[in-house]
Amino acid sequence: SLQQIAKECGVTKASIYYHFESKAQLFTASVTAMTGIARKHTKIIMDQEAPLLDRLRQLAEAKLAKPHGDFETIMREARPSLSPEQVQAIMSSEEAINNILIENFQQAMDRGEIRNADTLFLAHTFYSLIMVGNREIYADYNLSSARLAHQIIDLFWHGIAPE
């Protein structure tokens, strides 16, 4: 509730309504701010001068070090409360993160570092594997986020073909 949010933030409910007309507007602003931060950190990692494999491992480690909710589930639950414009704003902010990966995959293909493939598919596959690794069940295996990231990237990079 907005009352709970206000209490956690140490402000009044009225001050939240001063800045946001509705919970949907607050949700949209929160999600787009969060994805903006994720985009910034993704860009910092992916802009480094290092092989793509090393940058993907570093990105996976960073994303797995801070567990977060499943974005698809959050959006599925929130979508009925959002306007089409709010949904589009959120999806655009998520797309901006994918675009960083798409650009890096294309550059790696151009350099011959990876084989040609659909860059959007690669970006979605990468993030899908990260989301699977982010599930709480992996805490039971006592894997560090670094070890889990390495396993995920190795699967992504090499597939399941025999070595």
pLDDT tens digits for range 117-157: 999 999 999 988 988 877 655 566 677 888 888 999 999 99
Q: CA nearest 26: which of 73, 70, 76, 82? A: 82
Per-residue pLDDT averaged across 72-76, rounded? 83
Tell me the three state secondary structure of residue 20.
coil
- In this prediction, residue 136 carries a pLDDT of 59
Residue bearing tokens 């598919």: 121
Per-residue pLDDT averaged across 22-51, rounded? 94
Per-residue pLDDT averaged across 6-17, rounded? 90
